[in-house]
Chain A
Amino acid sequence: MLVHKFKPRRHIKASLLTCFALGLIVHSAWLPCKAWLSQQLINYSWHQSQGTAKQITPWPWADTHPVAKMVIARLNKELIILQGVDPTTLAFSAGAMHQYSRLALNKPFVIAGHKDSHFSFLQDLQMKDIISLTDKEGKNQLYQVEHMEIIDSEEQALKIIEQDPNLVLITCYPFNPLESGGSLRYVITAKLIS
Chain B
Amino acid sequence: MGEILENSKISSRQAVFLMVTMIFATVILSVPAITVKHARQDAWISVGLATVAGLLIARLVTTLGLRFPERTLFEYPAEILGRWPGKLVGFFYIIWFLHINAGVIREYGEFLVTAFRPAPPLIVFNLMAVAIAAYTVRNGLEVFTRANEIFFPLTMGLIVITSIFASGETDIQRLLPVADVDAVSIFKGAMVPLAWFGEIVTIALVIPYLNRPRESHRAAVTSVLISGVVFMLVVANAIGIFGPDLIEAMVFPGLNKYRIVNLANFLGRFEALAMTAWVTAGFVKISIFYWATLLGVSQVLELKDYRSLVLPVGGVLMAMSMLDHPSALHLQHFEAQVFPFFALTFEAAIPLLLLITALVRGKGERLG
Are these two chains actual partners, yes or no?
A: no
